[in-house]
Amino acid sequence: MTIHVTYSHRCPSCSEEYLPFGEGQRPCPKCGTLAAQVDPLIPDIVRAATYNVRQGVFGILSLGDWYVKKAMHVIWTIAKEGLNVPKDDAGLDHLCDELLKFFDFGDCQYRIPHMKAFIRAVITEAYLKRKR
C-alpha cells in the first residue's frame, strides 16, 4: 500500500507545472507570476512520503506524485547518510544545498530556488515540527 498526494498547478502565464506552497513561495519558478492560491500541501506530502519510506515503497508512485517522490528522497537521504538536521537557518541552508546535489535539474536550472524552498519546507515539517 502507498499513500498518494496528487496535485497539479500550471502557471497561467507560462504553463510551468509547480506546487505553490507556503508564504513567499507563490511565484512561478520559471516566469515569476504569482499564483492566485497557495495550497497547504506540505504536511500531507510529508505524511505520505514518511509512510512510503517506512514501507520501503520506491518507484511505484505515479507522475502526479512528483513532490511526494522528492520528499521521500529528502527523508530517505537524511536517514541513509545519517545527516544531522540543524535547527539554525545557516545550518538548514547548508543541508538544503547538500541535498540539492542529489537532484538533476538538467535544462531547468531555474527550478533550483523553488526546490531548495521545498526541501527546506519538507525538513521543517518532517524533523522540526514533528516529535519523532
User: What would the pLDDT profile of 16-63 be if each residue is shown by its tens digit?
Assistant: 988 888 776 678 999 999 888 787 778 887 887 777 777 766 555 544
> In this model, does residue 8 exceed pLDDT 50?
yes
Q: Mean pLDDT, the chain, as a whole number?
A: 79
CA within 13 Å, CB half, 117: 16
112-127 pLDDT, tens per residue? 998 898 888 888 888 8
Burial level of 86, CB count in 10 A (0-12/13-18/19+)? middle
Domain ranges of the chain: 42-129
* Interacting residues of 53 by C-beta distance below 8 A, sequence separation 6+: 72, 75, 76, 79
Would you state the pLDDT for residue 63?
Answer: 44
